[in-house]
């Protein structure tokens, strides 16, 4: 069973209204790198890697990442958000093979 697309999100606890908090997320994904043949020529194929990460909080966009194959396999991303109310942080990852992976974590107030 492949773990591709499995996501973990970490949000802090004991959040108060107005706090700027940091969120980190990790997604299991091969982030395939460009391969070259024995002569050094790039092998042309549809490499599977995440091109976009979007994060929303309470349904509103907070941050988005545009990515390349220079980003690590099983990448982790961090960002900040201003906690205004308890509610969901949703991250979405999209890869070049049409994969779309989503997960949500809740900001809970102390």
Partner 1 sequence: MAGAMTRRSALGTFGAVGAALATGTLSIGTPARAQAQGQSQALGLQESVQDGLKRVFGGRPMKDGAALIKLDIPPIAENGAVVPVSVEVNAPMTPASHVKSIWIVADKNRIPIIAKATLTPEAGQAFVGANVRLGETTDVRAIVEQSDGTLLTAKREVKVTVGGCGG
Partner 2 sequence: MRSLPRLRWAALALLVTGCALAARESTPVASPGRTSRAIAEARGDVRVSPDGKRTAVRYAGWTTRDFGAFRSYAYDDVRPEPPVQKAVMPVGVVGDPKKGRALFLDRQKGPCSGCHLVPGDDVWPAGSVGPDLSTLADRTLPDAYLYQQLWDPRVTFPVTVMPPWGAQGVFTPEEIVHLVAYLQTLHGPPPPEKDADRNPFTRRKPTGFGDNLDPTNNPAVVRAEEAQALWSARGPKGKACADCHAGRPQTAMRGVATRYPRVVAEYGRVMSLEDFLSVHAEATTGRALPSESAANLDATLLVKMASNGLPVAVDTTSPAARAAIERGRASFYRRVGERNHACADCHTPDHGANKFLGGRFLGDVTGGLTRHFPTWRTSQNDVWDMRKRMQWCMTPLGANMLAADAVEYAELELYLTTFDVGKPINAPGIRH
List residues binding partner 2 (CB under 8 A). Answer: 1, 3, 6, 8-10, 24-26, 28, 73-74, 76
Q: At its nearest, how many Å lie between partner 2 and the CB of residue 72? A: 8
Q: Does 5 bind partner 1 (CB under 8 A)?
A: yes
Q: Does 100 bind partner 1 (CB under 8 A)?
A: yes
Query: Cβ distance 43 to 32 under 8 Å?
Result: no
Closest to 31 measured CA to CA, from 12, 19, 46, 47: 47
Q: At its nearest, how many Å lie between partner 1 and the CB of residue 38? A: 18
- In this structure, what are the phi and psi dihedrals at residue 11, rounded to the nearest 5 degrees? -125, 150
Indicate the DSSP class of residue 41: P
Indicate the DSSP class of residue 85: S
Alpha-carbon span 90 to 102, nearest angstrom: 7
Residue with tokens 């349904």: 59
Q: At its nearest, how many Å lie between partner 2 and the CB of residue 25? A: 6
Nearer CB in complex with partner 2: 3/44: 3
Q: Which residues bind partner 1 (CB under 8 A)?
A: 4-14, 20, 22, 24, 27, 33-34, 42, 46-47, 49, 51-52, 57, 60-73, 75-83, 89, 94, 96-106, 108
């Amino acid at each position: 069973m492949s773990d591709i697309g499995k996501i973990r999100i970490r949000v802090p606890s004991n959040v108060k209204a107005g706090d700027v908090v940091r969120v980190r997320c990790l997604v299991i994904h091969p982030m395939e790198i460009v391969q070259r043949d024995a002569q050094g020529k790039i092998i042309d194929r549809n490499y599977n890697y995440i091109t976009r990460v979007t994060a929303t909080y309470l349904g509103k966009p907070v941050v988005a990442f545009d990515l390349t194959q220079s980003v690590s396999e099983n990448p982790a991303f961090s960002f900040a958000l201003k906690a205004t109310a308890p509610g969901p942080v949703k991250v979405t990852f999209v890869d070049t093979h049409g994969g779309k992976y989503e997960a949500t974590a809740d900001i809970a107030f102390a």
